[in-house]
Structures are given as C-alpha cells and as structure tokens.
C-alpha cells in the first residue's frame, strides 16, 4: 500500500476507525514480519487519534515484555499479575479503565496517563500472545467503540500469528 495514511477529519472516532481498518488490512496483509506490523499499527493509531501512548506488550519468558510502541518511554517488563496489562492477559478480555488512579495495581509509567484500554491478542490456539495498550492523557477517554474497534485490530493481528 502507499505509505500514506488517509485519516478523515471532522468526524467521530468510529468513522475514523472505519476508515483505518481497510488501510491496516492492506498495510499488514502482505507483510509477514510481526515486529514491522506491530510498529506500523502503533504508528497508525497514534497518528490517527493522537493518543498519549499506543503499543504492544508481548508474552515472553513468562511475563509481558515491551514491544513496538509510539509515545513516551515505558516500563519494559510487566508481570502477568500486575497492572491493567496483566489483568487483560489473565482475564483474557479487554479492560477499559476510565481513571487509572482508581484501578488497583495500575502501573504508572507516566503520571500524564489518565485513562486506558488494554486488549488481548490471541494465538490460533486461543492463548494470549500479546496485549495492545492504549493510554490517554484525558480521563474517561475510551468507550465501547474503542473496545470493539481495537478488538477488530487484535483479530487482524491474530490472523498473522
């Protein structure tokens, strides 16, 4: 695909996700390198929505290890039982956190992060291979729309695993 992203302006978040999805499909469709694909997905989400931090934590060596991301410096390793990422891994479900300070065990990589969503990405055999972590510097910035749309992106990645 052309290395240029089309992002509709003057519209709501769900319309932006709708415009992005086929572009993401095209972007990673013919590329087999996982790290390259995760790097570009992080870049696309960051550019399209201006999120504070977007990235991946990969299941490695019995913990979650930082993968490709866009945004400020982040924690490198997260135990499975810690933080929002650990909760998404353990519960095998999307976790929406409207206020990170109210989430027990939240790992504060940055005090600027106020709300977040973490979505698991599954292997073909149904185990969690990684999580997508998106952080906002606004409180209550994520909705069911983000959950549904980021889960679609997670399913797209799963097809490549």
* Positions that interact with ligand SME (CB under 6 A): 53, 74-75, 78, 83-85, 106-107, 109, 113, 116, 133, 135
- Of 17 and 71, the one with the shorter C-beta distance to ligand SME is 71
3-state secondary structure of 13: helix
Q: How far is the CB of 79 from ligand SME (least distance, A)?
A: 10
- Of 22 and 72, the one with the shorter C-beta distance to ligand SME is 72
Q: How far is the CB of 42 from ligand SME (least distance, A)?
A: 11
Q: How far is the CB of 148 from ligand SME (least distance, A)?
A: 21
Q: What is the DSSP letter of 107?
A: -
Contacts of 17 (CB under 8 A, 6+ apart): 145, 149, 152
- Of 17 and 56, the one with the shorter C-beta distance to ligand SME is 56
Q: What is the DSSP string of 36-86?
A: HHHHHHHHHHHHHH--SEEEEEEEETTEEEEEEEESS---SEE-TTSHHHH
């Amino acid at each position: 695909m052309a290395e240029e992203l089309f992002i509709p302006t003057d519209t709501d978040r769900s319309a932006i996700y709708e415009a992005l999805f086929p572009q993401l499909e095209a972007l990673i469709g013919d590329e087999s390198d996982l790290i390259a694909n995760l790097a570009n997905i992080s870049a696309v989400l960051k550019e399209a929505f201006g999120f504070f931090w977007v990235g991946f934590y990969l299941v490695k060596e019995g913990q979650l290890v930082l993968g490709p991301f866009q945004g400020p410096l982040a924690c490198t390793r997260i135990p499975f039982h810690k933080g929002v990422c650990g909760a998404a891994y353990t519960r095998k479900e999307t976790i929406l956190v409207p206020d990170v300070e109210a989430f027990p065990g939240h790992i504060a990589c940055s005090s600027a992060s106020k709300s977040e969503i973490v979505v698991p990405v599954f292997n073909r055999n149904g185990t969690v291979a990684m999580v997508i972590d998106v952080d906002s510097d606004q409180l209550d910035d994520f909705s069911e729309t983000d959950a549904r749309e980021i889960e679609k992106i997670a399913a797209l990645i799963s097809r490549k695993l």
